[in-house]
Structure 1
Amino acid sequence: MSPSPDVPIVLLLNDEYGTSKGGISTINCQVGQILTAVGAVVYCTALRVPKKDQEAADRDGVRLIGPDLLDKKTEPTLDWLTVYHSVHYPNLPQDVTCIIGHADITDTAARNIWEQRFPQADLMTFNHVIPEDTEYYKGGRKAMKAWVKEMDMLEKVDDAKAAFSVGKRIYDHFSTTYKGNKKPQNHHVFLPKPSDIFLATNVRPGGEQKVVLTVGRVWKVEKLKGHDLAAQAMREVVREIKNTRLRVRGISEDDWETSLKILEDSLNSPDLNPTLLPYGTQEDIRDDMMTAHLVLMPSRSEPFGLVGLEAIAAGIPVLISDKTGLAGMIIDLIKQKKIGDEHRHVIVETSVNDNDPAGDAKRWADRIVDVLKHSDSEFQKAARFKRELVESRYWEQSHRTFLQACGITAGDPD
């Protein structure tokens, strides 16, 4: 049965429908959930459709569209969506009213499919990154081409109906960038809601061995994500709290040895070996948090910081770099008196460069030691933080604005 002509038909363009790749995919799933909750018909592309992703889509009421595998031996790539979509995705839904891409993963695909197949639809983009900030830490050609990437993002969003920037840090950046000739018709902030799987979790203190958890790839981004800083800090921590373990989730098999060496060189400790864990789903990260005492986000630059938000939602103590969009959101919520002032103590001053590595490492080490030594009271603070964050409903207005951009004015976005 065809949907009513008044029902929005939304096409999400992404390479997966799941959460194994972290931030962008998590936001993509959340967008699908927001839309289906108010009755929209939602389709989502994927390069592969493993069982877990299909189950997630079925749970959310999203209709997955995998590629037409003309040759089953050929590995799908993003080019299948970007360049060869008419060949590999011939059966996209008709009467699409809105196409949504993610910069800088599927914004090119969204633009091409919109222009070539659905010009009657509204084009929208989600901004997740600030290349001008983050590419600096990747070195070499990537650092040199940061501005080229920003210009490409501008090209893809030019005259689109709307762009949604994830968090105020990204929103502020693109509000300035959009002052030039290339810009969308409308630009809004999008504040992610914590995922239900973490909201349903309540991490508890306990255990003599203290576990510190970080999440994110190490190789080539150790400076950006602050993994080197975390390791240097843990070298000092383990001198004071002997029975401590560092776990790092998000290491690919190909990068395992290189990542281990980077962490070991920064640790330079006879008392601690890091535990490296592979890429994981939200379920895996939830399980990691349930056996940890502290989650670190020591990034030197982080446009938002979903892992930190999910940790707060799970009720586990966190320490977050002040150079993250999440830290900015926490400060804003404190200023708005939506959460208590005590929660500013989860934010740690962090340099954007290596001018004061010893000072940065000491600040982080001191805060980690303090949290681990007072674990019971820190978990009580974390429980209050979770409760106040949820009660603030900080995400609602931005989700309502998103639905309105999609032509939906009725219904609760939550």
Structure 2
Amino acid sequence: MNNIVLLATGWGPQFGGVNAFNHDLAIGLASELGDSGMVFCVVPNPKDSNIENAKKNGVTLIPLFDKNNTEKFDTGWVLEASKYLENSHPGVKIDWWVGHDLKSGDAAVYAAQNVSGNAALIQHMSYINYSQLKDGPPTNTIRKHEEQKKLFKSKAALFAVGPKLTKECEALSGAKVTQLVPGFPEFTSQNNTTHKIVAITFGRMDAASDRIKQGGLAVSAFSEALNFKKEEFKISTLSSAQLYLIGMANDAEEEVKTLQAKADELAGRVVNLLALPFDEDRESLFRRLAEANLAMMLSWHDGFGLTGWEAIAAEVPLIIGENTGVFDLINETLGDSGTACVQKIDVRGRRGNGSDESNFAPDDLQDVKEAIRRIASDLPKFKKNAQNLKKYLIDELTCTWSETAKVFLEALISNQTSDSSIEKTEKLKTPSENLSTHGPFDIVESGNAIPLCAELLLSVGQGSTFEEFEPLPEVRFGRAELDEIKGFSISYGLKEAFLRLHLKNCNIRPGMRLGDDIETQPHIVAQGDNTWAIRGPKDGDVLARRAIGSEALCYLEAEPNKCPEVKFELYCRKRDLSYEIFNDDNNKLAPNKDAILKAFLTKILEGEGSNAILSKAKLIGRDKEHETD
């Protein structure tokens, strides 16, 4: 059993994005664990609707009532939660306590030390990078930074949301940190309106946050975009444009009036500005987002930026600050093909005085104004870009909470294993895997997901040592048949496949790799992210025969005094699967039945992800002290 307790200050988006992330992660974990574990979440002062919502999604809320301070999870609440668990679930042992940064991280560490199990910590923010603009004197920033440093040096499994925070957490802790990519929320409909701009920016919009989140910049730039000089060509979609500003405080009536007057002045006309309080009803919030056709996340700094991520999920054209985790994720995952799908802004920012002085630079205003007009001038084009961006990200990252939960659980298992490489090998090995020895390495090969269609075998080149070695994967393909469905036979193969390496304690030596020379290896392409594309040889339109195996893939070097490990993953994308479906009379099926069966088979092969894992293998270095002659 794997029993997990998450510690939060609210269930759902109450009190901000950290709790929204916790909500979705908890539900994803419950779905992934199924009957193999239980997921609990400790929450102060939950509503009955919160308890029911959690129960419906497989999560048991542990309520803590009459708690006044919900800004931070008090370590003293841990023992109260533990006693509640003992009474409600006698005999259940907790394996992991999950804390969110400074909000509940200390409590998770305390629970692991004083109750049972282990701690897992997730970093959501980097105070040293923004707090001085929001939280007053630099001493406050330094204090929070030191608190984070102390927390993430605790004995715990470490996680961070997106690449920017993962790097920050590694710098804080000096340890390995697992990146978590949030799942996309589901949107049943998107706005196909092209006759007018419906813009949105949302999140916490209080005055203290404006220097960071730049809500004032969004309103000012939108207003200026509506102000056309006589000699300028007017963009028709801006004539009746509207802007939703969601996230105002409930008592911000005067602030809203001031903002509206400023917007009208900048636009030289009345602006349809709808400034609304923050909405804790996520369905309502997402409906509002789905009605938009332009979104702005203009943060001067954001460790990740869930609002921008949700806009991408809704396929809304996005104007985004470059200094955000979401932009880094797009750039590092997709490169130019991804960043070209958004309007990126280098938000310079400014230390406004809080009254009549703005928190943004003049160039910020001009850049965002121009980006708004670019989108407004060709909405169909930018809508298509938004659709492509979502598709590209799903192809590469899956972007489901189920996948986030899988990554989280795999990292927890990894953190529970022994440092001994021999013990690690035995724990990683399952009944469906074969273990063999090649020189100073153990090789663990998994069974193939679609036998006869793809095969991966693994060895190392002659002369390979523990410190320097040549991986020799052997990959074969062919057309296979599935005749288990009564009345039909299905012939299938792959149009293209990929081999990806996941490296631990080792690196690829600079220089030529297999697939760099188009003359000698025309069917293999060495790509980035330790990935090789396999595009031949082919029999008709599908891969056939041995594609890789006669030459070393690359040259690897182990890090000093560390045990190298390489995971090989052979996979294909959804569009790479090729089918031919026949009935018992050897006649091709009508298109409608063909489509149904294709969808069925695709679901079998791919589950929830967009990639089908065909086969896996691991190359694990054996510690020298365990080697035998």
Which TM bucket (shorter chain)? 0.7 to 0.9
Q: Aligned partner of 1:166: which letter? A: V
Matched, 1:225 2:213: yes
SS at 2:340's partner residue?
A: helix
Q: Aligned partner of 1:170: which letter? A: L
Matched, 1:64 2:61: yes
Q: Please give the residue correspondences for 1:75-86 in structure 2 after superposition, counting only pairs within 5 Å.
A: 75=68, 77=70, 81-86=74-79
In the other structure, the counterpart of 1:117 is: 115
Structure 1 position 276, deviation (Å) = 1.6
**Change beyond 3 A, Cα 1:341–1:45:** closer
Residue among 107, 128, 134 paired with 1:138: 134
CA deviations on 1:250-271 (whole Å, 9 max, x unpaired) are 2231345335535754774342
Structure 1 position 207, deviation (Å) = 6.3
In the other structure, the counterpart of 1:234 is: 222
Higher radius of gyration, 1 or 2: 2
CA deviations on 1:262-295 (whole Å, 9 max, x unpaired) are 5754774342253222222321221111222211
Amino-acid identity (%):
20
Deviates more, 1:393-402 or 1:27-36: 393-402
Matched, 1:190 2:190: no
Structure 1 position 84, deviation (Å) = 4.2
In the other structure, the counterpart of 2:154 is: 159
Contact 1:400 1:413 in 2 (8 A): no
Higher relative contact order (CA 8 A, sep 6+): 1
Task: Tell me how far apart the structure 1 counterparts of residues 199 and 68 of structure 2 sit (CA, whole Å).
Answer: 37
Contact 1:301 1:323 in 2 (8 A): yes
Structure number with higher helix proportion = 1
Residue among 153, 160, 163 paired with 1:168: 163
Contact 2:73 2:103 in 1 (8 A): no
Contact 1:204 1:379 in 2 (8 A): no
**Change beyond 3 A, Cα 1:412–1:30:** farther
Contact 2:97 2:118 in 1 (8 A): yes
Task: Tell me how far apart the structure 2 counterparts of residues 372 and 129 of structure 1 sit (CA, whole Å).
Answer: 33
The gaps in structure 1 that reach 5 residues or longer are: 1-6, 180-184
Deviates more, 1:392-401 or 1:149-158: 392-401
SS at 2:83's partner residue?
A: coil
SS at 2:103's partner residue?
A: coil
Task: Tell me how far apart the structure 1 counterparts of residues 169 and 103 of structure 2 sit (CA, whole Å).
Answer: 17
Structure 1 position 144, deviation (Å) = 3.3
**Change beyond 3 A, Cα 1:87–1:256:** farther
Matched, 1:365 2:369: yes
Q: Aligned partner of 1:253: which letter? A: N
Deviates more, 1:238-247 or 1:10-19: 238-247
Q: How big is the alpha-carbon RMSD for the aligned residues of Structure 1 and Structure 2?
A: 2.9
Structure 1 position 165, deviation (Å) = 1.0
SS at 1:101's partner residue?
A: strand
In the other structure, the counterpart of 2:383 is: 379
Contact 2:194 2:380 in 1 (8 A): no
Matched, 1:12 2:11: no
The gaps in structure 2 that reach 5 residues or longer are: 87-91, 229-237, 352-358, 415-427, 431-605, 610-629
**Change beyond 3 A, Cα 1:341–1:208:** closer
Residue among 184, 201, 219 paired with 1:214: 201
SS at 2:39's partner residue?
A: strand
CA deviations on 1:88-123 (whole Å, 9 max, x unpaired) are 7631354100000001211122223333323xx110
Structure 1 position 30, deviation (Å) = 2.8
SS at 2:85's partner residue?
A: coil
In the other structure, the counterpart of 2:413 is: 407
Contact 1:264 1:274 in 2 (8 A): no
Deviates more, 1:230-239 or 1:124-133: 230-239
CA deviations on 1:113-144 (whole Å, 9 max, x unpaired) are 333323xx110110000101121221524x53
Deviates more, 1:316-325 or 1:26-35: 26-35
Matched, 1:126 2:116: no
Structure 1 position 10, deviation (Å) = 0.3
**Change beyond 3 A, Cα 1:257–1:89:** farther
In the other structure, the counterpart of 1:390 is: 394
Task: Tell me how far apart the structure 2 counterparts of residues 230 and 368 of structure 1 sit (CA, whole Å).
Answer: 10
Q: TM-score, normalised by structure 1?
A: 0.84
Structure 1 position 148, deviation (Å) = 0.8
**Change beyond 3 A, Cα 1:243–1:253:** same
Deviates more, 1:16-25 or 1:364-373: 16-25
**Change beyond 3 A, Cα 1:123–1:315:** same
Contact 2:129 2:301 in 1 (8 A): yes
Task: Tell me how far apart the structure 1 counterparts of residues 80 and 40 of structure 2 sit (CA, whole Å).
Answer: 18
**Change beyond 3 A, Cα 1:210–1:390:** same
Q: Aligned partner of 2:42: which letter? A: T
